[in-house]
Chains A and B, each alone.
Chain A
């Protein structure tokens, strides 16, 4: 005990100013860095989306060359996925997992510092391609060969940026696994972990499994372009479809990497504001595990139109439909948690309820897309764009926003401004449906995705979509305002910020000490955990 105290005193002498942030190995500092970085990237990716929606406000080309439009669509995807959503979840993991499992810090703090500081360089590399001859990559975030091979100077820079992002993710994932498996407080067995921790543990394994696959796919493209190989060149005996198979073997688990931690967040927020323990804890854990397993055997549902054999089409259709079962179990469990609870509607709960409604709508269109014959009509249209924005924005991004409001008082020691936050929520949830719902109709009517220009009959709905997009974009400034105001001051937050909150993080003061649990939490604190009653 004595030694720990000395070590603590020593660690407390961290440098100030910019060096504190560059050299920090503290999980809270790194979590803050991740979250700030992801917020910045959310606005960069959002700016690209605003340009896309501005060009699509009217038929005809008004603002940009079609090629620049393709660059915007590509960078919007890459920045939002690798720059906004994934780092936000890693930031939340950094902040919350040590506090939730009763640990002082992450298990591998030095690597933690590295895994964050690689990211800014990766994105400087990626975004610098905008200023290169030939422009940024313009082949969509999926980087399909052979189109990707037509990229100009930006090509190797994009690929090395992807490599850096992959290294950062894998390091973050290793750290999270090491923390969860080694630093849990005595008495916290695996089946007593909070659901957020469970979801992240499974997500981290997915990351380690598939990020190297993406690295392999883009490296093969690099080889094809500069070293004379023909992995994807049909004329040289290669196979353009090989890229798609390898890419989606990464890409589908990636979808769940971006949504499983969101499941974890929602499973924390809904019980708190329902004042009722999570329904079906065990089945939630098994559902997440089976979703993770299924995510490895469904990848070709992104490729139903490439002309696979009938047997392959049937296999991937059936496995894809199967995912609806564990996902359904999760939704039913959330509904059952709310059922006969005593609900109150603070901003985190509003985001969580919106998540369940809107993610489920994305799930419905997912079931529709799973049916191969119907997919032939939906594939690569705005119907797909609507589907994955419902699961990624009203799914993942809403969960992240809910999580920020949920834990912000814990992080800063101040309550956020509830009125401003509610404005942010309502403006977001209304505008986002104006933005994404009409996309279903556009897709069904025949509008393809990734179009810089469109036939005139799609004009009015595109204008509705664009207006929704602009309002959603501007509303996010309220989010920034809420965060800044809350960091600066506000009503003092108690240790247990929310009346119904359960879990170790609420036993620490707000804000928590620099090293969360320098001593293991008392056993009775873990015993207070709702899952313990089983």
Chain B
């Protein structure tokens, strides 16, 4: 009877562990993904190889221990042997691990040599880590943009947000502006950081490279098939470490070229790689309204259709600045100005995307980090010049935003800070003032 029950229990244990191994019991695959680059395949094979070697050694060592535990028991009346040395066996079990290790080291070294060979790339993309976002710089194409956590994830991840993360698609694995790469090309990644050390990791590519201020690290990828691949920052980088994911969209060479062409003529607006239209929602960090864009020689041809493409907009942010300003026929290069309403809308978006991580969405600051409040704070309610200077040049853990945001964004966010959260300074800062203060 007892034995029968034991067998039944054993069957149950085996069945449930099989279910566990097959992954059906859990939402994730329990093993490393095979990935989509030649390198990730090699790494997966190496991982499985060393795993099975360890399993083999484990069976031998644990098996011998179990035999001792089961048979060589005092309770079973076993008389202890008294041997305590055997030179031959000790030499053997020193040499065998050596041989096993050499058998592991050879394939590992081969893969490593391959992984570090970043020569002869088809193209290069520079990746820069910031607290807490990524910047992708397409060196040969002359444009760059920031990639921050998607707004719906950001909202749900606030303390006691009341939003169930399960209701958010790709919670903490979605960004406003993904990195876009072509398939089938060898792409060299040049990875660095602006403030502290970050680490750029996309598991499907088997690339994890630290982004270190003052260093430019290299890696390469060659993506097999089109798709969306998700990763994250893997080195503790402060409060927002969990909130700076990576999304890479891989598409065919021809689609990629169309996207690059659209990016080059978008005046800083991010072009959605799927629709080839400027993005309407998400963080507008790097775009200025067309008429305020200092670099724009001509307005975007797609600007007029922008409002008609809310296809991928689950929760449109209140009319972005770009949408409120009519696409002007001609760029206004000098003496351009904007109204308080436009600056405030834009300022709120810039603030939420960049400043709220430390100063908090309600502007109350974060005493735990010694981050001062915007609400009733001395700087936003003090002299304007000092406020602009602090934002431009930073202080302590406050970054020098002058290197990160453009004049329009800075003007908007300073205007917003001086006229929100109970502050009523009434200042309307124009981009020209920022330009002058730089």
Listed stretches B96-104, B295-303, B333-341, B347-355; interface member: B96-104
Q: Give the complex CA separation of A374 and B5 in angstroms.
A: 43
Contact partners of A241 in chain B: CB under 8 A: 212, 215
- Using CB atoms, name the residue of chain B closest to A287: B94
CB pair A448–B232 under 8 Å, yes or no, is: yes
A313 within 8 A of B: yes
A317 within 8 A of B: yes
Q: Which of A59, A234, A335, A377 contacts B215 (CB 8 A)?
A: A234
CB contacts under 8 Å to A, within B328-346, are: none
Contact partners of B436 in chain A: CB under 8 A: none
- Using CB atoms, name the residue of chain B closest to A274: B80
Contact partners of B68 in chain A: CB under 8 A: 335, 338-341, 343
Question: Which among A241, A281, A335, A454 has the highest number of chain B CB atoms within 10 Å?
Answer: A335
Contacts A146-B213, A152-B370, A280-B90 given; indicate if A59 touches B97 (C-beta within 8 A): no
Q: Which of B29, B46, B116, B158 contacts A445 (CB 8 A)?
A: B29
Q: Give the complex CA separation of A214 and B156 in angstroms.
A: 40
Per the CB 8 Å criterion, the residue count for chain A at the interface is 103
CB pair B64–A335 under 8 Å, yes or no, is: yes
CB contacts under 8 Å to B, within A50-68, are: 59-62, 64-68
Contact partners of A377 in chain B: CB under 8 A: 32, 43, 47, 203, 206, 208
Contacts A376-B208, A461-B28 given; indicate if A277 touches B368 (C-beta within 8 A): no
A360 within 8 A of B: yes
CB pair B47–A376 under 8 Å, yes or no, is: no
CB pair A339–B214 under 8 Å, yes or no, is: no
Q: Give the complex CA separation of A67 and B357 in angstroms.
A: 11
A208 within 8 A of B: no
Contact partners of B311 in chain A: CB under 8 A: none
A138 within 8 A of B: yes
Q: Give the complex CA separation of A332 and B29 in angstroms.
A: 34
Q: Looking at the assembled complex, report how far the CB atom of B51 sits from the nearest CB atom of chain A, in whole angstroms.
A: 7
Q: Looking at the assembled complex, report how far the CB atom of A73 sits from the nearest CB atom of chain B, in whole angstroms.
A: 8
A446 within 8 A of B: yes
CB pair A459–B27 under 8 Å, yes or no, is: yes
B209 within 8 A of A: yes
Contact partners of A139 in chain B: CB under 8 A: 236, 238
Contact partners of B393 in chain A: CB under 8 A: none
CB pair A341–B397 under 8 Å, yes or no, is: no
CB pair A59–B58 under 8 Å, yes or no, is: no
Q: Which of B61, B156, B197, B234 contacts A448 (CB 8 A)?
A: B234
Q: Looking at the assembled complex, report how far the CB atom of B76 sits from the nearest CB atom of chain A, in whole angstroms.
A: 9
A134 within 8 A of B: yes
A357 within 8 A of B: yes
Contact partners of A62 in chain B: CB under 8 A: 159-160
Q: Which of B26, B61, B69, B72 contacts A360 (CB 8 A)?
A: B61
A401 within 8 A of B: no
CB pair B240–A66 under 8 Å, yes or no, is: yes
Q: Looking at the assembled complex, report how far the CB atom of B267 sits from the nearest CB atom of chain A, in whole angstroms.
A: 31
- 9 intermolecular pairs with C-beta atoms under 8 Å apart: A144-B197, A146-B197, A280-B85, A340-B68, A340-B80, A341-B80, A445-B29, A458-B27, A530-B84
